A and B are shown apart, each in its own frame.
Chain A
């Protein structure tokens, strides 16, 4: 039974929700409003005056080939990060679920990467793959492969995907493992005794029952890939080479704070806001229908 509390007046309940309202207003509505406001102007380089341009910033952006390329980059990047981090996490979770001894140690060790800040994770991977002193680069060189993510756009993309996905695996792993352990053992045994082998059981029983977790992680991971990977990209590639790893969020930063084009940067933020909104609606509308709670 849900417990409901009835207040007599309006002031006490208002006071109780006020902190949340203030936080939301100051840190969400105000910046978002500012972004929308600024996206309609072009400021001068010194920030002393602003010129009204209406939707000019948006028009310019949508006609800009670099900006459109950033869309494609972002799509590839977030799909890869989500697939890699969720795929590896699911694989590890299935293994951990079958583990009887030492699962505690295994789990604890797997959670560690989550505690590493994205920028630090980026530096770690950067060291390993550094074109001159990187350990992995050296071994790849021994194998005859010349690794150079500074010049090769595909390698750069590969590296930021791996570095971004790596930190995310722990998080996904925890959720998948919890999801797997919530599936009653007897349901899986019932399928087994009815003749289903491991892979069939996974496909017909485990995967459908895991779908709420998978759906949740899908939403969370795409949002992660869109926004929180900034630190990784900033430390490893700074969006290069030739903008091959410049995802939308990174471009907001680069055009705004490096290029000092605050109007365009604000317009990009607004576009990003709209995209994430649409993505979330689409996910809940269409994918959730296929989910069994």
Chain B
């Protein structure tokens, strides 16, 4: 791994008239990294990707590939390649012609084109199909052809614009694994944009969570999941119970608060600079909550209560329980342990629950744009 990052953005911005799609975004992607940009639709991630590809000119900032500014380099001269949302395979060409298109544009001679096309098709597991029409392929195979068409040009950076969006759920799950394997095999830097958090979490080495044109947080999947820096990240990545509260007092990082239901809780100051009287948003992950039939089991935890089972949402390993706190009436989603310990639980039962203050992340309310 060289010291110069494959891709570097320095406070890059893009405005359309008065609308700022991307504001002052800076990041760098080291060689061989699977870097994802995760955000809801309209957050500016596609604009950012199109600036990297060269289809749009930034309003400000600089863009470097392998340490060289590419602002004035047109898309066809940049050492980047792109897999489009709907793959954009050329329907009137066969698979070989599709994959060899870029090579032919570079003036590579015919026999070399055929050889390189065959080699890259073999690497994506599609050897010997060069003469077949694109329409004879399945969705997943088309995906691989689209990647082969990019990889044959040996780009420094491969951009992927939600390429799994058009696939059905099962294939998408499968392609997640396959994409990650292809990436490590080619050892090329991937910049992947998606609004699907599970795609980002599974595949990426680094994830940037984007919202309203800025990066809220950049980190590994685990960092984003367990230590979200902002309320937006806490809410967008993974599932969470979210409720409003008011700060009652502080001891170090610990926050004493009263929820809107009147419950007193102890939480962790995950945002910054909270003081008494501040309105806050509180996030608790469903799997952070411990269930027990005996209230003594959860009595030692900072936050606890007795809940009435409102509903059991059985979904195999992802089963959930909807509880209503008997004291306050607050609703809570709790992940059911996968041990099957609570499989006889049903609506109307009463159960004890509790969670640690470390798992109760507090952010100042209203700063989420």
Q: Which residues on A are within 8 Å of B, measured CB to CB?
A: 184, 186-187, 189-197, 200, 204-205, 208-209, 292
Cβ of B92 < 8 Å from any Cβ of A?
A: yes
Given the contacts A195-B76, A195-B106, A189 and B55 also touching, CB distance less than 8 Å: yes
Which residues of the other chain, A, contact B91 by a CB distance below 8 angstroms? 209, 292
A210 CB, nearest partner CB in chain B, Å? 11
Cβ of B90 < 8 Å from any Cβ of A?
A: yes
Cβ of B80 < 8 Å from any Cβ of A?
A: yes
Contact A189 B84 (CB under 8 A): yes
Contact A194 B86 (CB under 8 A): no
Q: Identify which of A189, A195, A208, A292 contacts B102 (C-beta below 8 A).
A: A195
Pairs A–B under 8 Å by Cβ, sample size 10: A187-B88, A189-B53, A189-B84, A190-B149, A193-B53, A193-B78, A194-B76, A195-B106, A196-B76, A209-B91
Contact A193 B85 (CB under 8 A): no
When chains A and B are docked, how far (Å) is the Cα of A194 from the Cα of B105?
A: 7
When chains A and B are docked, how far (Å) is the Cα of A191 from the Cα of B103?
A: 11
Which residues of the other chain, B, contact A184 by a CB distance below 8 angstroms? 86, 88
Cβ of B81 < 8 Å from any Cβ of A?
A: yes
A101 CB, nearest partner CB in chain B, Å? 12
Please provide the 6 A-B residue pairs with the shortest distance between their CB atoms, ordered closest to farther.
Answer: A194-B102, A195-B105, A186-B88, A190-B88, A186-B84, A292-B92
Cβ of B82 < 8 Å from any Cβ of A?
A: yes
Which residues of the other chain, A, contact B53 by a CB distance below 8 angstroms? 189, 193
Within 8 A of A (CB), among B58-82: 75-78, 80-82
Cβ of B153 < 8 Å from any Cβ of A?
A: yes
When chains A and B are docked, how far (Å) is the Cα of A186 from the Cα of B49?
A: 13
Which residues of the other chain, A, contact B82 by a CB distance below 8 angstroms? 189-190, 193
Contact B105 A208 (CB under 8 A): no
Within 8 A of A (CB), among B75-128: 75-78, 80-82, 84-86, 88-92, 101-102, 105-106
Which residues of the other chain, B, contact A194 by a CB distance below 8 angstroms? 76, 81, 101-102, 105, 149, 153
Which residues of the other chain, A, contact B106 by a CB distance below 8 angstroms? 195
When chains A and B are docked, how far (Å) is the Cα of A273 from the Cα of B90?
A: 40
When chains A and B are docked, how far (Å) is the Cα of A190 from the Cα of B81?
A: 8
Choose among B78, B85, B86, B90 the residue with the greatest number of A CB atoms under 10 Å from its CB. Answer: B90
Which residues of the other chain, B, contact A197 by a CB distance below 8 angstroms? 76
Contact A190 B84 (CB under 8 A): yes
Contact A208 B92 (CB under 8 A): yes
A293 CB, nearest partner CB in chain B, Å? 9
When chains A and B are docked, how far (Å) is the Cα of A200 from the Cα of B106?
A: 12
Nearest B-chain residue to A207, judged by Cβ: B92
Contact A193 B86 (CB under 8 A): no
Nearest B-chain residue to A190, judged by Cβ: B88
Choose among A186, A194, A208 the residue with the greatest number of B CB atoms under 10 Å from its CB. Answer: A194
A10 CB, nearest partner CB in chain B, Å? 41
Nearest A-chain residue to B146, judged by Cβ: A190
Which residues of the other chain, A, contact B77 by a CB distance below 8 angstroms? 195
Which residues of the other chain, B, contact A205 by a CB distance below 8 angstroms? 90
Which residues of the other chain, A, contact B84 by a CB distance below 8 angstroms? 186, 189-190
Contact A200 B90 (CB under 8 A): no
A277 CB, nearest partner CB in chain B, Å? 30
Contact A192 B75 (CB under 8 A): yes
B133 CB, nearest partner CB in chain A, Å? 10
A192 CB, nearest partner CB in chain B, Å? 5
Contact A196 B105 (CB under 8 A): yes
